[in-house]
Amino acid sequence: MSRTDPAANQAEMPSENVPVSGQPLSSPDRYDASGLPTAKVPAAAAPEHAWPGSAPSYPAYSSSAPTYPVYPPAPPSYPGYPNSGFPGAPVPAPARRPKGIARPLPVWAFVLGLLVIVGSLIAIFFTGNDWTDGDLRMSFAAAGIAVFLLIVLGIRSVVGMASSNNPHRVRQYVSSVLVIIILFTSGGAGLLVHSSLHAPQAHFLEGQQQWEQAISEYQMAGEKSPSSINLARTYVEWGESLSQKKQYQAANGKFEMVQNNFGQLTDEVHRAQKDEMQSYIDWGQQEASQGHYSDATSHFDYVLSLSYCDSNCKSQVSPLDATAYYNQAEMMLSKKNYQEAVTSFEVVTNRFPQAPEVSKQHKDMSKALLGKGKQDKSTLCETAVPVYQELANKFADTPEGREAKTALSVPQPVLGHFVKDVPKLSDGYVKINAALLQNLDPNIGSDAFYQQLANAPAATISDDGHFKFQPLAPGNYDLVWGFMRSDGSQLYMFYHSKTTNQPVYVAQVGQLCPFDFGDIQDSFMATN
């Protein structure tokens, strides 16, 4: 049904800017062929709805003006359904989607699966004894996972993932194949770098201060003495770490390892030498602080004995050593270990004459010497004589020095024991004795002999052969012995050497100690 009201018809007509061939008009005015504007002409009424085949009629225009057809809006359409806006158009069936394992994985499941695979490979890598072992395990695991995923991909393809009706198959294949390729590539790369992981792991372990494992990895990487700077450096660092932990003995073992086995690596050897000296110094100071002075002096002495302990080294260690020896001596003196005290005092005096302990120890040194001298005198007196003499000469300003000087001036007795054929007073003898003569001439006449005998010191010989003279001034005395009968006659004798023509038994009376002839094995030469 058409409408005849011009006004109404004008209201339903489209705008004058009607598109022609897709291009809008730039002006509501129309132009004739000459390019001049023409007057507007009212349009004829159009049908209420127009479809193809029943085109509307339009009013006539001037013969000189072009005419333009007007088309209604396009009917609606729907995605995936062509020409759906037209009545009677066929509606295609929706595409079939794959089900089950052929369906695409959710994004979260895909990402989680990747994380599980990566995490598992990392865990497998670190379960090995070292990186190379872990790398080998990880390579085989990656290859195994890739094979498994390849099998799964084949199964999914068979059950529908490869179908043309699967709109996601390209994405599924790309992601799956990419993961499989990455896994195969990772496994192959791991096998290729397998043998080259020892060195980087060794450096890593060295940085983590896992010294023993680092050395083992360096050795498996082919490094060895005496040319491996990595091994030498690691041993030195190990020793430094032990020294910092006050494990000095173990630390010094590492430093000596470098010096003994890496001699051609000058820098590392010098570093080991310097560290070893400092380790022994620290060790000695630790022992001294704990009162272990003997161990402290041992460590300091070792440092001073090293050929590479230069003047600076000696100037640092010598005072420490002197103090340790002094403290050692004082401790031994307090315990009445006089021999050890004297030895330590003498080290300070003889080796460190410039040390302040030398003057400080003077009085205590005299005490230690006197104590030692008395102990020696009670056991083996002759060894005490030099000690008393040192006291008397070098420590005369001390009470101990004066005591020693007095002891050295005291006369000493002479004693002995005849073993064979000793006569007895019960056999009719009035006197059986021994005498000490000085400067006895073996060729002396009888009268001169007995005259000298009358003024000589004498000692009675007991029935068991023992005799002892009263203390005598220091000097040499010749021993003679004999007897006197009841009628006043007497007979004395002595032994002399046919080679030297000198008396055999001579008492060398000295300072401090008695003289003992001991057991005289020659016959007493008894007479009737």
pLDDT-wise least confident of 24-38, 234-248, 295-309: 24-38
Residue in this structure with the two tokens 């006895």, named with its chain if needed: 440
Class at the top of the CATH hierarchy for domain 413-523: mainly beta
pLDDT over 70 (residue 397): yes
The answer to whether 513 and 389 have CB atoms below 8 angstroms apart is no
Contacts (Cβ under 8 Å, ≥6 apart) of 430: 483, 484, 485, 486
Closest C-alpha to 308, from 280, 277, 283: 277
Q: Where residue 131 falls among pLDDT bands split at 50, 70, 90?
A: low
Q: Residue 240: what pLDDT?
A: 95
List every span in the chain annotated with CATH 2.60.40. Answer: 413-523
73-101 burial code (b ≥16 CB/10 A, e <16): eeeeeeeeeeeeeeeeeeeeeeeeebeee
Q: Residue 21: what pLDDT?
A: 45
Q: Where residue 524 falls among pLDDT bands split at 50, 70, 90?
A: confident
Q: Residue 294: what pLDDT?
A: 95
pLDDT over 50 (residue 9): no
pLDDT over 50 (residue 66): yes
- Identity of residue 316: Q
CA 235 from centre of chain: 8
Q: Residue 442: what pLDDT?
A: 85
Q: Residue 18: what pLDDT?
A: 44
Q: Residue 7: what pLDDT?
A: 44
Closest C-alpha to 479, from 415, 434, 422, 447: 434
Q: Where residue 199 falls among pLDDT bands split at 50, 70, 90?
A: confident
Q: Residue 26: what pLDDT?
A: 44
Cα of first residue to Cα of last residue in the chain, in angstroms, is 197
CA 491 from centre of chain: 87
pTM > 0.75: no
277-331, pLDDT tens digit by residue? 999 999 999 999 999 999 999 999 999 999 999 999 999 999 999 999 999 999 9
Q: Length of the chain in residues, anyone?
A: 528
398-451, pLDDT tens digit by residue? 999 999 999 999 999 999 999 988 888 877 788 899 999 999 988 888 889 999
Distance CA 15, CA 417 (A): 164
156-168 burial code (b ≥16 CB/10 A, e <16): bbeebbbeeebee
pLDDT over 50 (residue 19): no
Contacts (Cβ under 8 Å, ≥6 apart) of 30: 37, 38, 40, 61, 65, 66
Q: Residue 16: what pLDDT?
A: 44
Signed CA dihedral, 85, 86, 91, 97: sign only: negative
Q: Residue 499: what pLDDT?
A: 87
The answer to whether 463 and 429 have CB atoms below 8 angstroms apart is no
Compute how many other C-beta atoms are within 10 angstroms of the C-beta atom of residue 351: 14
How many C-alpha atoms does 51 have within 13 Å on its Cβ side?
4
pLDDT over 80 (residue 84): no
137-195, pLDDT tens digit by residue? 666 677 778 787 778 777 777 777 767 777 777 777 787 788 878 876 765 665 555 45
Give the DSSP letter of residue 86.
S
Contacts (Cβ under 8 Å, ≥6 apart) of 128: 134, 135, 136, 137
The answer to whether 221 and 198 have CB atoms below 8 angstroms apart is yes
Distance CA 400, CA 397 (A): 8
Closest C-alpha to 474, from 411, 388, 394: 411
pLDDT above 70 covers what percent of the chain?
73
Distance CA 119, CA 105 (A): 20
- Identity of residue 497: S
